Amino acid sequence: MSALPLGGCPDGRTLLTARWVLGHGEGEHRLIPDGEVVIEGGRILFVGRRFDGEVARRLDFGLALISPGLIDLDALSDLDTTVLAIDHQPGWAKGRVWPQSYVERGPYEMYTPDELAFQKRFAFAQLLLNGITTAAPIASLFYREWGETVAEFEAAADAAGEMGLRVYLGPAYRSGGMVLEGPGRMVPVFDEARGLAGLDAAISYIRNHDGRHSGLVRGLLAPDRVETCTAELLRRTDAASRELGCPIRLHMAQGRMELDTVRTLHGTTAPEWLASLGLLSPRLIAPHAILATDADLRLYAEHGVHVVHCPLVSGRGGSMLRSFGGLRAMGINIAMGTDTAPPDMLLNLLTALITGRIAGGPNSVRSADMWDAATLGGARALGRDDLGRLIPGAPADIAVYLRRPSLGGDVQQALNVPALSMGRFYTGWSADRVGGHYTRAGRGNGDSRCARRFRHARRRVRVDQVQDHSLASRTATMDAMSGAFSSICRSATT
């Protein structure tokens, strides 16, 4: 392992091997016991067993799973202040909606430009530490003067490029915001010109940055919250998406405030409203869908809209997708989003399995379906048939999950235990990307370039903003591993 240049690109061919390799064939993942993955020049050269070519080095991870890097399409990149309201509902009573008096005074940026740049850098490091190699960041506009800025996304593109995280980026924009008029009375306040200017800035950002850092940075149009977007903003967004060839992410069927506001403004649900405008398409990625009606879901299926499932955030708020298996049976593609910090995708997959079975019945989903959503589902939503799978020619976006050594046993034992048993794994390494950049993870070791960058950046922000997210204290415990892996074994091949 010491042969590996942490944070750098190893020269020549590197052969990775482990007890399990999640390979790919005939359109689905296939588990390869004692498999090998050979990478060269940032691409995957070989996946299988007994590679007979020359290699510059061989890394045996032992009792581990070598998986495609995971894809997170709702990756939180700022403070998750919703955690403060978990036991303090409703959110509007706890200062999580702009009060009228604040709007009248004039909303302002609550973070400095440096803090905004740091948020993304820190979030990107966390994503890599969790085995997530492709991400579309998301942040709240509650703490912003209005939308996100080009400057912070320029910094984000550079951070992603330096760390080796594949990202879909674009500053979020909106036509309006929700304002609390009185107890429980929330109304949207619009500023159409500001929304359209935000879209123009996002378009120019994407034109300037799409494809940078060897293609790691791609564009994403991110209108924020459907209830505060006008039809004109969404029409222009759709046209820009066609022209730029980039996806749109728009939260829909997310919560009660959205439902009530869209019904008041447009007399229907958000998906039906967009359908009436002709704006549902396979370029649309729609996080949440937990309050989607049957009619909404039929529209998603008919128009190829992709859902991003964020089960942990939904579940802790008392709601769930109805249902994971049901959507898949309708032909709706499901990608995954962590949407909170830390971005523990494996915990999200376990939560998705649990809520999926509560909502749809015990036989409606398998844990392999969850892994598929976090890899192939995300790739499909992004229109990428080269991501989320280990195939020759694909970018070397790889996550290696190691078993926690103190538990003893082997991976097969962990895989065979019931889904809710604590097959405790942790991310020992997250390996990723073009060039085979590696990021040392876990246990606060001091070797990682991104850990060093994080510590450096952290000095510049208030400690109380990050103390609970300390990289040094993050051990990336993967309690959900046995559940997430158990039925991957269904397609084990030898």
Cβ neighbours for 457, distance < 8 A, ≥ 6 positions apart: 118, 121, 122
Give the torsion sign (CA, 341, 342, 345, 348): negative
Name the segment binding Zn ion (CB under 5 A); options: 192-200, 331-339, 447-455, 484-492: 331-339
Report, in Å, the least distance between residue 142 CB and Zn ion.
13
Report, in Å, the least distance between residue 268 CB and Zn ion.
22
Name the segment binding Zn ion (CB under 5 A); options: 73-81, 101-109, 397-405, 473-481: 73-81
Q: Which two tokens stand for residue 105?
A: 């005074």
Using CB under 5 A as the binding rule, whether residue 224 contacts Zn ion is answered as no
Report the run of H or E that residue 71 belongs to, with start and end. Answer: strand 70-76
Name the segment binding Zn ion (CB under 5 A); options: 337-345, 362-370, 418-426, 458-466: 337-345
Report the run of H or E that residue 119 belongs to, with start and end. Answer: helix 113-129
The residue type of 402 is L
In the complex with Zn ion, which residue's Cβ is closer, 337 or 435? 337
Rounded distance between C-alpha atoms, residue 262 and residue 258, angstroms: 6
Name the segment binding Zn ion (CB under 5 A); options: 15-23, 286-294, 321-329, 369-377: 286-294
In the complex with Zn ion, which residue's Cβ is closer, 172 or 368? 172
Report, in Å, the least distance between residue 76 CB and Zn ion.
8
In the complex with Zn ion, which residue's Cβ is closer, 129 or 336? 336
In the complex with Zn ion, which residue's Cβ is closer, 68 or 271? 271
Report, in Å, the least distance between residue 319 CB and Zn ion.
13
In the complex with Zn ion, which residue's Cβ is closer, 251 or 458? 251
Report, in Å, the least distance between residue 248 CB and Zn ion.
14
Burial of 494 (0-12, 13-18, 19+ CB in 10 A): exposed
Name the segment binding Zn ion (CB under 5 A); options: 66-74, 228-236, 345-353, 373-381: 66-74
In the complex with Zn ion, which residue's Cβ is closer, 67 or 134? 134
Name the segment binding Zn ion (CB under 5 A); options: 124-132, 146-154, 281-289, 469-477: 281-289
Query: Alpha carbon of 410 to those of 21, 35, 360, 402, 407: distances in Å?
Result: 15, 16, 32, 10, 9
In the complex with Zn ion, which residue's Cβ is closer, 36 or 74? 74
Site for Zn ion, residues 352 to 391, rule: CB under 5 A: none
In the complex with Zn ion, which residue's Cβ is closer, 209 or 251? 251
Name the segment binding Zn ion (CB under 5 A); options: 53-61, 197-205, 320-328, 338-346: 338-346
Using CB under 5 A as the binding rule, whether residue 339 contacts Zn ion is answered as yes
Rounded distance between C-alpha atoms, residue 72 and residue 375, angstroms: 9
Give the torsion sign (CA, 314, 316, 319, 325): positive
In the complex with Zn ion, which residue's Cβ is closer, 70 or 488? 70
Report, in Å, the least distance between residue 447 CB and Zn ion.
33
**With CB under 5 A, what is the number of residues at the site for Zn ion?**
3
Report, in Å, the least distance between residue 74 CB and Zn ion.
4
Contact assessment for residue 382 and residue 247, using Cβ atoms and an 8 Å cutoff: yes
Residue recorded with tokens 């830390």: 342
Report, in Å, the least distance between residue 307 CB and Zn ion.
11
Using CB under 5 A as the binding rule, whether residue 40 contacts Zn ion is answered as no
DSSP per position, 287-304: EB-TT--HHHHHHHHHHT
Report, in Å, the least distance between residue 97 CB and Zn ion.
16
- φ, ψ of residue 36 to 5 degrees: the values are -135, 140
Pick from 147, 247, 287, 436: which binds Zn ion (CB under 5 A)? 287
In the complex with Zn ion, which residue's Cβ is closer, 261 or 487? 261
Name the segment binding Zn ion (CB under 5 A); options: 117-125, 333-341, 383-391, 435-443: 333-341
Report, in Å, the least distance between residue 75 CB and Zn ion.
10
Buried/exposed code over 369-406 (b: 16+ C-beta within 10 A; e: otherwise): bbbbbbbbbbbbbbebeebbbbeeebbbbbbbbbbbee
Report, in Å, the least distance between residue 210 CB and Zn ion.
23
Rounded distance between C-alpha atoms, residue 270 and residue 226, angstroms: 7
Residue recorded with tokens 């995957």: 44
- φ, ψ of residue 2 to 5 degrees: the values are -65, -15
Using CB under 5 A as the binding rule, whether residue 72 contacts Zn ion is answered as no
Q: Which two tokens stand for residue 81?
A: 């202040």
Name the segment binding Zn ion (CB under 5 A); options: 34-42, 145-153, 158-166, 336-344: 336-344
- φ, ψ of residue 217 to 5 degrees: the values are -100, 125
Rounded distance between C-alpha atoms, residue 448 and residue 124, angstroms: 14
Residue 67 DSSP label: E
Going by C-alpha positions, the residue among 206, 355, 229, 216 that lies closest to residue 286 is: 229
Using CB under 5 A as the binding rule, whether residue 74 contacts Zn ion is answered as yes
In the complex with Zn ion, which residue's Cβ is closer, 251 or 474? 251
Contact assessment for residue 187 and residue 179, using Cβ atoms and an 8 Å cutoff: yes
- Catalog residues that contact Zn ion under the rule CB under 5 A: 74, 287, 339
